[in-house]
Amino acid sequence: MRRFPWVLTIASALLFAGLVFLGVWQVQRLQWKQGLIARAEAAATRPPAPVAEVLREGDVEFRRVVVDCPGLAAAPYIELQSIQQGEAGVRLISACPTRGGPTFLVDRGFVADGVSARPPVRAEAAPVRIEAVIRRAPEPGLMALPPEGRRFFVRDNPAMAKALLGEGSPVSPLTLFAVSSSNPEWLALRPSAPPAAFNNNHLGYAITWFGLALALAAFYIALLRRKLTPPPAAAPRADDDREERAS
């Protein structure tokens, strides 16, 4: 009698559970991504509103807002290395303190690498009204390159706030992406917000993981049947038949 393959069974069960877990996780990611897309599409249809009013609503990401930023046209800025539609350049980031509200970092727009000029920086109290889209700043990864002076290679709001405002200057975790220009006379500055378009491949990933789990189960069952099926009885030899007839 053949022994039951316990080691193979335990290993297969663990691998099967891992594949099913990955499939379920992708289904959950699919539901989250569909909700995110629905929020972005709903926010895009709403008219811009004052930023203080939008902040009171709670769910603010992707909303279009109107905000007055003191001296934004001539405010200090840092540069964030970026690529827009295949073109290398930088995005200009400035601070925008709001009356009675938080200080935001404002992404004023994209400037191509071929443009060496920059907007002026000087003390100027005149506020600039812009229209912007609210987005949450992603957390920088562990492998993110550190800034070189005032040029950054990853969007890091606390580090950018420190460079612009000094140590201990808190800013909102939300970023305002200008969609109207802080410097309309300077055409090299191209305000824009990241497109609210998302890769949604989670259903395909889920099908792949569940398919691998089913394939593993079928392989295990076939291998188990092979191991537990007793071998066929040996056929009698011709010499044995002659001996039986002679006797």
Domain count, the chain: 2
CB atoms within 10 A of CB 161: 22
Cα–Cα distance for residue pair 157/168, rounded to 1 Å: 13
- Is residue 134 located within the same domain as residue 111? yes
Q: Which two tokens stand for residue 237?
A: 């030899």
- Is residue 174 located within the same domain as residue 68? yes
Residue 142 lies in a domain: yes
DSSP 88: E
What are residue 90's phi and psi, to 5 degrees?
A: -135, 155
Residue given tokens 């309309």 in the structure block? 184
Concatenate the DSSP letters of all residues of 97-138 into one string. Answer: E-TTS-EEEEEEEEEETT------------EEEEEEEEEEPP
- Is residue 43 located within the same domain as residue 68? no
The pLDDT profile of the chain, 247 residues, written as one tens digit per residue, is 567 788 889 999 999 999 999 999 999 999 988 887 887 788 778 899 999 899 888 778 889 999 999 999 999 999 999 998 889 999 999 999 988 888 999 999 999 999 999 998 988 778 899 999 999 877 777 777 888 888 999 998 889 999 999 887 788 889 999 999 999 999 999 999 877 656 778 989 999 999 999 999 999 999 888 877 777 766 666 555 555 555 5
Provide the whole-model pTM: 0.70
Looking at residue 6, its pLDDT comes to: 84
- Is residue 73 located within the same domain as residue 149? yes
Q: Which two tokens stand for residue 183?
A: 């410097």
Cα 189 from chain centre: 26
- Is residue 18 located within the same domain as residue 78? no
Residue 24 lies in a domain: yes
- Is residue 30 located within the same domain as residue 70? no
Q: Which domain holds residue 165?
A: 63-178
Residue 79 lies in a domain: yes
Alpha-carbon torsion, ordered 151, 153, 157, 158, to 10 deg: -70
Cα–Cα distance for residue pair 178/107, rounded to 1 Å: 6
Looking at residue 235, its pLDDT comes to: 60
Residue 171 lies in a domain: yes
- Is residue 80 located within the same domain as residue 168? yes
Cβ-contact 192, 179 below 8 angstroms = yes
Residue given tokens 């040029």 in the structure block? 151
- Is residue 44 located within the same domain as residue 134? no
Cβ-contact 134, 62 below 8 angstroms = yes
- Is residue 7 located within the same domain as residue 110? no
- Is residue 12 located within the same domain as residue 84? no
Looking at residue 243, its pLDDT comes to: 57
- Is residue 132 located within the same domain as residue 203? no
Looking at residue 170, its pLDDT comes to: 84
